[in-house]
Amino acid sequence: MAFGEAASKLPNLKHQLFCLVLLNTGCRISEALSLRRSHVDVGGGALVFLTLKQRGEVNYRPVPVQDSLIEALMVLPTLEDGRLFDFGRTTGWKLVKWCMDSAGISGIKATPKGLRHGYAIGCVSIGLFQGDIQGLLGHKRPETTAIYTTHITEDIRGKFHKIWIGGGPCPKS
């Protein structure tokens, strides 16, 4: 079972949608928890996050999501301040952990940060440019995003070993 399938089995709709927001946007837990109805861009097909870790700067970033997720978020009752989720970081972390356990995901990947990394690797694998990925993740520095492109390059290079003829070193000239 994948993380998304496990999330859909949570009994509380807000908990389900919280986990799906993390999975489908690569946002941080605190960014998802601060999501307000006004941050759901129905016309643009995106969720707009207040980006954390910007060293004092206020920065919002849109992240495209499926129409079905937008529709589900739009019918959720909100808190008085417009927030969609009425629980804190600890509950959010426990929800992610439950879904990871249910999906059979373990180790370093079985964390909220693992979802963020998975999203970034997914962006690389579909061919998004590094600058676009940097914007989607809300990274201030390109070097932070470069970690993902380096990882995928090493992974791809490793796969080429299977097709290189002979698999040995090149002959010397």
CA distance 169 to 3: 41
For the domain made up of 3-160, the CATH class stated in words is mainly alpha
Length of the chain: 173
Indicate the pTM of the whole model: 0.81
Query: In this structure, how many other beta carbons lie within 10 angstroms of the beta carbon of residue 150?
Result: 11
CA dihedral 121, 127, 129, 135 (to 10 degrees): -50
> β-strands 40-41, 60-64: how paired?
unpaired
- Burial tier of 36 (Cβ tally within 10 Å: 0-12, 13-18, 19+): middle
pLDDT in tens, the chain (173 residues): 599 999 999 999 999 999 999 999 999 999 999 999 999 999 999 999 988 765 667 788 899 999 999 999 999 999 999 999 999 999 999 999 999 999 999 988 888 888 888 888 888 888 888 888 888 888 777 777 777 766 666 666 666 666 665 555 555 55
